[in-house]
Amino acid sequence: MGFYVNIYAMIVNLKKEKLYLVKCSDWQVAVSSTDHYEACTSAVTHMINEQGKNLKLSCVIVSVDVSSFAEDLREDEATMFHPASKILANAGLHDISKNLKEVFGT
């Protein structure tokens, strides 16, 4: 079984943005953003651009504020769960969002 890893060097100005780890289905992406919701939207947009129709989605997208987690070490307060349909709609992908809502009821 093969796999690939993309490694990106990233400098984040933590005064304006935070670092988030966004996970869904079989993928995860680290992004800088101002909040959980926008981090998820950026991650989904990036992954759709990378994988197109091959991108796997689940009904829930998980985001972890790595910046806060590194300072506080309480994962439950740094972690949020988001309905994938809402994140897709926020990214302007309304047809996919609607289809996902119909399948999962979220």
Residue 10: its pLDDT value, please?
53
- Tens of pLDDT, residue by residue over 33-83, are 999 999 999 999 999 999 999 999 999 999 999 887 666 666 667 899 999
Q: For residue 76, give Cα distances in angstroms to 12, 25, 53.
A: 23, 20, 32
3-class secondary structure, 82: strand
Predicted TM-score (pTM) of the model is: 0.80
Nearest to 93 by CA among 60, 59, 44, 54: 44
What does pLDDT average to over the chain? Answer: 83
The band of 7, judged by pLDDT with boundaries at 50, 70 and 90, is: very low
Q: What is the DSSP letter of 16?
A: T
> What is the residue whose two structure tokens read 């979220």?
106
More confident residue, 10 or 55: 55
3 has a pLDDT exceeding 50:
no
Q: What is the DSSP letter of 26?
A: T
CA dihedral 19, 82, 41, 93 (to 10 degrees): 170
Residue 73: its pLDDT value, please?
62
